[in-house]
Chain A
Amino acid sequence: MRSILVAFWLAFLFLPFKGPKAALMLFAVVLIIVSSWTYLKRRGRTLREKVFPRINALRAMSLSGKRLSLAQCGLLLFLIAVPFFAGDYVLDVAILCGIYIILALGLNVVVGFAGLLNLGFAAFYAIGAYSYALLNVRLGLGFWESLPVCLLITTISGFVLAVPALRLRGDYLAIVTLGFGEIIRLVLNNWDSFTNGPNGISEIAPPRVYGLSLGGLDKYYFVTLAAVILSYIVVKRVRLSKMGRAWIAMREDEIGASSVGINITMYKLYSFAFGAFWAGVAGALFAAKMRFVSPDSFTFMESVLMLCMVILGGLGSIAGVILGAVVLVALPEALREVQSYRMLALGAGLILMMIFRPQGLFGGARK
């Protein structure tokens, strides 16, 4: 009875948007799903009982670390070997994956470790990309000379945004970061004399080493790979350091953390700046890879996509976040034909994830 009601209700909602025939189909589908709900529930329990503990066990082991080295070496060798057998398209996707992994790792520091929801992370990404683009095109600086300046600028912008963050609670903070992201994009789009407005900046030079251009996809792949490995190691180290533990403590209980002497204000600042730093790395990599930047690449949807990577993989879990980034970049490429359903599934995925597994696929349960 209940299942008929639910199916009827959803079909009713669907009716005006796609007509009676589609609504009837939806009715049938929902009816079947809901009436086999008990079965699904049992399956759900097995899933939860059998699969989740195994994932958790894997996590525990991957955190303990030492025995991994062999498998890690294998993975590394494989990744190094990729350009020797893969075509340009695969490399292109792989580089994009790498850039998003760095972004997701950076956002994870803010959202996952420190528990501050940032909905405007694309702004830092944009600042990084535009810094390199402008330094290169306007001042003629090369990639390696501009990179430190670029990272300095993004880190400082992280600090600047963190100032309002200190005063605001969770959801207000989220909205302010969103506003910040939109303002940055609007400025990039409208400040024609400086950013070239909507036309974007083209002819950005790829990095060079001893006069050798690293612009080819196979060479650029290694630049990205190196950056990904570096970010992975650094973020992992920081996670285990005093700062990382302070962030976690702050996330779990702000008042408790401050009572044991953690300077909440400073650690919030650090987390924003540290996250922004990695967005700057990703931005510079992106600009040098595309050799073209325009404001269109840094919309709110981009911020949401990064957030989805972090949440899908598991807030605070480094391996999970990497996996989340790879899945969300590579999967739509593999399934280009059904890409229009990607965002629909992503939206539904976020809801389901929050309800059934808020810690993400690979996140650990919170204690």
Chain B
Amino acid sequence: MKRFQMTAVFIFSLVVIVFAGCQKKAETIKVGVAGPMTGDQAKMGTDFKNGVTLAVEEWNSKGGVLGKKLDIVIADDQHDPKQAVATANKLVNEGVIGVIGHFNSNCSIPASDVYSRAGIPMITPGTTNPQLTEKGYRGVFRVCGRDDQQGRVAAEFVTDKLRLRRIAIIHDKTTYGQGLADEFKNFVADKAEVVYYGGIIQGDKDFKTVLTAIREKKPELIYFGGIYPEAGLLVKQARELGMTVPFMSGDGTIDPKFVEIAGAGAAEGTYLTFGPDPKNIPQAKTFIENYSRRFGEIGPYSIYAYDAANILFTAIKESNSTDGKAIMEKLHSSEFPGAMGNIRFDEKGDVTVSPFVVWITRDGKFVEYWRPGK
């Protein structure tokens, strides 16, 4: 009997020692990359990973930072908040200097608690939910825009450029989708009438019921807060119901799969808000060449991840320190050149210049269509 108990104790201690043994002393400077690396959103995580990898390779070929090589630690949050906290703790435990991530709002927000407690800066390339930087943490930054900025640009486009007055709004009941739809609703409600506002279930396939209800209200535009699979199905099924009303959505929809699901005919003319096209940015030319040579097609978030990594490394270099606090102060005070243009963070950690523009779907491709204020 005792033997059994002793064996159990032995095995347990062994497990603990193995875990504890993972904490090695740093010979390199480690940075974490966190996002959904497996599962149905694995593509976004891969974009992050590739973008950061490219930046790291470029820095290492020039001798690294502060005389040390850079090293990536990848963390898979599986777009699950619980996993996000666990992986954040794991990254902290491995001694990363900073983190590029996460992607989903409901992962970035709880994970930011962990990083802030540990005094590690975090730069997200893709979380647009305003809540993230409203918590007052010094070390939380984002290189993308915020949903309130995105919602405002979309609303401006709809009411001022297209001059539409009857709007239907749908969202997918996620932190991201509902947050974006609500921001859009706030801004659009001044000048137009919101004739329908409601949620659908993410992962559902049949939206004809909700679309039939919307059709009765005769909207001039349907706005969707959510990501591409549902967006594609919504557009496709609306066309099947004989609805020709234009669609508009946010940065979660800008994925080639959207057109594939909706069918090129149905997707034609769909408006999307997203950052400016890198192809139109002179600074991005080398990035586009190097990235496509190394990894093939550029994902929507590759360039943001690349910029986020470069900004972090520059801040480490310029503050001449691996101390989290010094890096955070540097991030707040300097301006950084990036592939998307120069970036400066405000007090909250958001980018000072709102980067959103409106894109349109033409012949199955996304092209930049309208810039606010013009």
Contact = CB atoms under 8 A, between A and B. Distances in A.
Interface of A: 58, 61-62, 67-68, 70-72, 74-75, 78, 82, 85-90, 92-93, 96, 189-190, 197-200, 202, 217, 290-292, 294, 296-297, 330, 333-334, 336, 339-340
Contacts of B333: none
Given A71-B9, A78-B13, A87-B93, A92 B86 contact: yes
Given A61-B4, A89-B22, A336-B76, 15 more contacts: A58-B1, A72-B5, A75-B8, A78-B12, A86-B16, A87-B20, A197-B173, A197-B178, A198-B174, A198-B175, A199-B106, A199-B131, A292-B85, A294-B175, A296-B82
A86 B15 CA distance: 11
B38 interface: yes
A85 B17 CA distance: 9
Interface string B13-41: 10110111011000000000000001000
B15 A88 contact: no
B89 A89 contact: yes
B12 A292 contact: no
B15 A294 contact: no
10 contacts: A58-B4, A71-B6, A75-B9, A88-B93, A89-B22, A92-B89, A189-B173, A197-B173, A199-B178, A200-B81
Interface string B96-131: 000000000110011001000000000000000001
The binding surface of chain A is classed by DSSP as: helix
Nearest to A199: B175
Interface of B: 1-2, 4-6, 8-9, 12-13, 15-16, 18-20, 22-23, 38, 76, 80-82, 85-86, 89-90, 92-94, 105-106, 109-110, 113, 131, 173-175, 178-179, 199
Contacts of B131: 199
Nearest to A61: B1
B243 to A, nearest CB: 26
A226 to B, nearest CB: 18
B48 to A, nearest CB: 17
Q: Which of B6, B12, B80, B81 has the most CB of A within 10 A?
A: B81
Given A189-B173, A202-B109, A87 B199 contact: no
Contacts of A197: 173, 178
B120 to A, nearest CB: 12
The binding surface of chain B is classed by DSSP as: helix
Nearest to B6: A71
A88 B109 contact: no
A189 B86 CA distance: 23
B250 to A, nearest CB: 16
Contacts of B106: 198-200, 294, 296
Nearest to B171: A198
Nearest to B89: A92
Given A87-B23, A198-B174, A297-B81, A292 B110 contact: yes
B5 A74 contact: yes
A61 B110 CA distance: 45
Q: Which 6 pairs show the lowest CB-CB distances between chains A and B?
A: A71-B5, A89-B93, A292-B110, A61-B1, A92-B89, A90-B19
A70 B93 CA distance: 34
B3 to A, nearest CB: 9
Given A197-B178, A292-B109, A339-B38, A75 B81 contact: no
A294 B12 CA distance: 32
Nearest to B5: A71
Contacts of B113: 202, 291-292
Contacts of B86: 92-93, 96, 333
A261 B80 CA distance: 48
A192 B175 CA distance: 11
